[in-house]
Amino acid sequence: MLAAQTDDIGTAVRALGNRVRCSVPFPGGPLLHVEPAGSAAFGDIDEFVGWLDRRRDSVDDLLTRFGAIRWRDFGVRDSRAFELLVGMYPALEQGYTGGSTARSRIADTTKVFEATKAAPEVLLGLHQEMAYLPTYPSKIFFYCRAAAQTGGETLLGDMRRYTAMLPEPFVRHVEQSGIRYLRNFRSLHRPIPRDASERIEFIHMAWQEAFSTTDPAVVERECAALGLACSWEDDGSVTTYYTAPGIVTHPRDGGRVSFNVVQSQYAFLDLLGEQWWRSCCAQYRNGGPPPPYYVEYGDGTPIDLDDSRVALELLRQITIYPPWQHGDVLMVDNVYTAHGRNSYTGERDVQVALIS
């Protein structure tokens, strides 16, 4: 364990008191584990949530320090109990609107969503939620209703460590000009190009599905509400544009960290095939629609694919795989800690709440 983390554990124990036990399961990694100190430490979920609420400031401090906190064996037995806990914090108003995949709300809850619909064999790499939108969650809470048979961990990575490892000229360029995100939503009526991978359908969402409408005016209204510019392309698709800072200041302790998804550029090229990707990019440069996701510097300069590849490799290097147990609640600081999802087998039910 790092010396600084030994100090941090001391702080955690002092802040939370003797009804709980704290540990750091991945030394040097972004996770504080908390469990009850005795078998009857908490009577029920109401008692636990009340206890937590009285220590909210300390919990927020610890979340900033460690980047993520996992609460185990506190009697969070179902989605309603999870929602009670989530209710301590304000929900992100936009929910998953504008996110990269459609999500459904869990029945009988107002703030709890199902986890990603990505196929079990897919590993979703580390990312900060909605880093490509003007408004994003400050925290994400996860709840494990059922752990997968194998794999299925919610991956975590320390973005303070990652930022320190990024190539300096790249960081400087982002600081100076920000990152511009273009997202293209195809028209449902345009056939999928035959030379593209079959995964294109999942990645290149149709605007009719992404915005749940057949009315272009609704798309324009929703984009405006999210703070995105949009324009219709000749092929019936729609492109949204947004320039983000790319590096942000943490609201609690003022730390500066990378907050963007530049790694996606290389990941998509890898996933969809280089030939198709390059022809899409060439089309875009000639005035056509961009690929489903396209990232460039805020000044319009293309990002070197090597920088995008390095970012992706660094993210893989810092990834930890904390296993789930039924009833676990995981709080993640969305600025300091990136998350992802491991591939899995069996039934997995991990639910999510976005905190403003």
Residues lying near Fe ion in the complex (CB under 5 A) are found at 129
CA distances from 292 to 77, 100, 166, 169 (A): 39, 10, 25, 27
Q: Of the two residues 16 and 267, which places its CB atom closer to Fe ion in the complex?
A: 267
In whole angstroms, what is the distance from residue 87 CA to residue 53 CA?
Answer: 10
If the CB atoms of residues 129 and 328 are measured against Fe ion, the closer one turns out to be 129
Q: Which is nearer to Fe ion, 34 or 261 (CB)?
A: 261
Residue number with CB closer to Fe ion (95 or 288): 95
Closer to Fe ion by CB, 41 or 106: give it.
Answer: 106
3-class SS at 312? helix
Q: Kindly tell me which of 238 and 311 has the beta carbon lying closer to Fe ion.
A: 311
Joined together, the tokens standing for residue 70 give 């996992």
- Smallest separation, CB 193 to Fe ion (Å): 27
Give me the torsion for CA of 326, 137, 114, 119, rounded to 10°. Answer: -100
Q: How far is the CB of 99 from Fe ion (least distance, A)?
A: 8
Least Å distance between CB 129 and Fe ion? 5
User: Which structure tokens are listed for 162?
Assistant: 């990652």
DSSP label at residue 64: H
Quote the CA–CA distance of 261 and 81 in Å, as a whole number: 33
- For Fe ion, the closer CB: 20 or 130: 130
* Residue number, 74 or 96, with CB nearest to Fe ion: 96
State the Cα–Cα distance between residues 180 and 325, nearest whole angstrom.
39
Of the candidates 326, 356, 355, 351, the one whose C-alpha atom is nearest the C-alpha of residue 105 is: 351
Nearest distance in Å: CB 101, Fe ion: 9
Nearest to Fe ion of 24, 338 (CB atom): 338
Helix count (H) and strand count (E) of the chain?
A: 12, 18
Q: Which residue is nearest to Fe ion (CB)?
A: 129
Distance of CA 191 to the CA centre of its chain: 30
CB 288 to Fe ion: min, Å: 29
For residue 297, give both structure tokens.
């510097």
3-state helix vs strand vs coil in the chain, percent to 5: 30, 25, 45
Nearest-angstrom CA–CA distance, 220 and 259:
26
Q: How far is the CB of 246 from Fe ion (least distance, A)?
A: 18
> Minimum distance between the CB of residue 63 and Fe ion, rounded to whole angstroms?
17
List CB contacts of 177: < 8 A, sequence separation 6 or more.
Answer: 297, 298, 299, 301
CB of 333 vs Fe ion, minimal distance in Å: 14
> At closest approach, how far in Å is the CB of 188 from Fe ion?
25
* Residue 323: Cβ-neighbour burial (10 angstroms; 0-12, 13-18, 19+): middle
- CB of 97 closer than 8 Å to CB of 135: no
